[in-house]
């Protein structure tokens, strides 16, 4: 049942969908919560149920079907796999702080000097969960949006508030909240520039 799907197993923090990480090809179908195939999940719904042979997959694997990407969040026994639809490609970096005392030069964040934590990871960025206004409250101030980001956990990588996120569209965000669950990371991020 389903369409031909490639399974990728990340082998480290960089580019989990690279050709060297391709594990197997299998048939997979994805459905909404009741798995009835009557309707697709609604606008902004990241959670899908994956119907495929879970003997070949595990939590954290990515599935590529045509141009659509999901990651396996969990595989409960005797139930469909819980999958998350990935709609963005994100990278995370940790700013390097200066330790200079006294008069110092520029002390802002330089992305070229930041420590890369994850590079080119498909993730689900769930819409704007809120808008934070700047202190100026000017009429033309659109504010900075906040979003929720879902992505699988990666051994050896621990994301923290203050880390930077960059997506494939060039949008920059700052991680403001982190939660590592059995399903993977759930991050709160705030747009870095309005």
pLDDT tens-place string over residues 132-178 = 555 555 655 556 789 999 999 999 999 999 999 999 999 999 999 99
Class of domain 89-191: mainly beta
Q: In this predicted structure, what is the pLDDT of residue 116? A: 95
**In the chain, where does the domain assigned CATH 2.40.10 lie?**
89-191
Q: In this predicted structure, what is the pLDDT of residue 142? A: 58
Lowest mean pLDDT across 24-38, 73-87, 136-150, 170-184: 136-150
154-159: long-range contacts (C-beta < 8 A, 24 or more apart)? 154/10, 154/13, 154/60, 154/118, 156/13, 157/13, 157/117, 157/118, 159/92, 159/117, 159/118, 159/185, 159/187
Tell me what the mean pLDDT of segment 22-42 comes to. Answer: 83
Question: Of the candidates 148, 150, 151, which has an alpha carbon nearest to the alpha carbon of residue 129?
Answer: 148
What's the distance, CA 99 to chain centroid? 31
Q: In this predicted structure, what is the pLDDT of residue 73? A: 97
Q: In this predicted structure, what is the pLDDT of residue 153? A: 94
Tell me what the mean pLDDT of segment 80-97 comes to. Answer: 93
Q: In this predicted structure, what is the pLDDT of residue 44? A: 73
At 21, list the tokens.
């990480």
pLDDT tens-place string over residues 98-110 = 655 656 555 555 5
How far, in Å, CA of 16 to CA of 151, rounded? 12
DSSP string, 26-69: EEEEEE-TT--SSS---TT--EEEEES-TTS--TT-EEEETTEE
Model confidence at 19: pLDDT above 70: yes
């Amino acid at each position: 049942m389903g369409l031909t799907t490639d399974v990728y197993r990340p082998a480290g923090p960089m580019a989990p969908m690279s050709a060297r990480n391709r594990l197997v090809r299998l048939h997979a179908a994805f459905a909404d919560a009741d798995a009835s195939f009557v309707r697709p999940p609604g606008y902004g719904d990241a959670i899908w149920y994956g119907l495929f042979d879970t003997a070949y997959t595990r939590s954290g694997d990515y599935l590529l079907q045509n141009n659509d990407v999901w990651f396996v969040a969990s595989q409960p026994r005797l139930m469909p796999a819980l999958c998350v639809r990935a709609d963005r490609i994100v990278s995370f970096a940790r700013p390097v702080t200066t330790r200079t005392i006294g008069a110092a030069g520029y002390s802002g964040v330089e992305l070229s000097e930041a420590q890369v934590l994850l590079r080119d990871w498909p993730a689900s960025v769930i819409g704007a969960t809120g808008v934070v206004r700047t202190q100026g409250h000017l009429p033309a101030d659109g504010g900075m949006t906040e979003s929720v980001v879902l992505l699988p956990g990666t051994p050896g990588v621990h994301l923290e508030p203050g880390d930077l996120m960059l997506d494939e569209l060039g949008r920059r965000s700052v991680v403001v909240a982190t939660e590592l669950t059995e399903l993977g990371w759930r991050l709160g991020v705030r747009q870095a520039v309005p």
